[in-house]
Amino acid sequence: MNSSPLNVATAANWPPEIGQFVTFKSMDTLKTGYVKLVQWGLVWRDIVLEDGRVIPEHKIIGCPETPVGWRNAQDVSQEEREAAEERLVTMSQAGLDPRDREQAFWAELNQYLAYTYLRFKDTGVENKDIDAMQNLREGRR
């Protein structure tokens, strides 16, 4: 294994627990808060703090350098994707300011765009390859 003991320990302790005090990067500064909730988005976990700020897990100091348990884009159901799209549209139409970093709209929009990228450009899996896999599953050749 290439993982250093530090990485192994960090990955084993990830994600942070509810109530844990965490430090995170925001632009060029460090901020802190207490974890209220850890929730899955379309790709990665979001850490919701007690004051309502939403922090992507990779911004938290101590997050393993490579993702732990990230979801595959193909594992997101149509219902879940459409629900995320509805929430985004509702938030934008409600006039929420997407410039508010660390708020739900910014966090969800960032994650949705990352997911959309992976959905179609999934690490070298071209659309034709996805078609071929689908055909095999459906018994066509």
Partner 1 sequence: MSEPNDEGKKQRAWKSLQDAGLVEIAMEEFPERISEAKRTVIGRLNELMQAQNRMEERQSLAHSLGALKNLETTLRSDVSSSRKK
Alpha helices, DSSP H only, in the chain?
5-12, 78-93, 104-120, 127-137
| Non-local CB neighbours of 98 within 8 Å, separated by 6+ positions | 92, 105, 106, 109
Nearer to partner 1, 29 or 78 (CB): 78
Give CA–CA dist 55/21, Å, rounded. 13
Count of chain residues binding partner 1 (CB under 8 A): 39
Nearer to partner 1, 62 or 98 (CB): 98
Residue 118 found at the interface with partner 1 (CB under 8 A): yes
Touching partner 1, residues 35-54 (CB under 8 A): 43
Q: How far apart are the first and last CA of the chain?
A: 39
Nearer to partner 1, 104 or 109 (CB): 109
Query: CB of 69: closest distance to partner 1 in angstroms?
Result: 7
Structure-token pair, residue 1: 């294994």
The residue among 105, 118, 11 whose CA lies nearest residue 58 is 11
Question: Interface with partner 1 by CB under 8 A: which residues?
Answer: 43, 56, 58-59, 66-67, 69-70, 72-73, 78, 81-82, 85-86, 88-89, 92-93, 97-99, 101, 106, 109-110, 113-114, 116-118, 120-124, 127, 131, 134
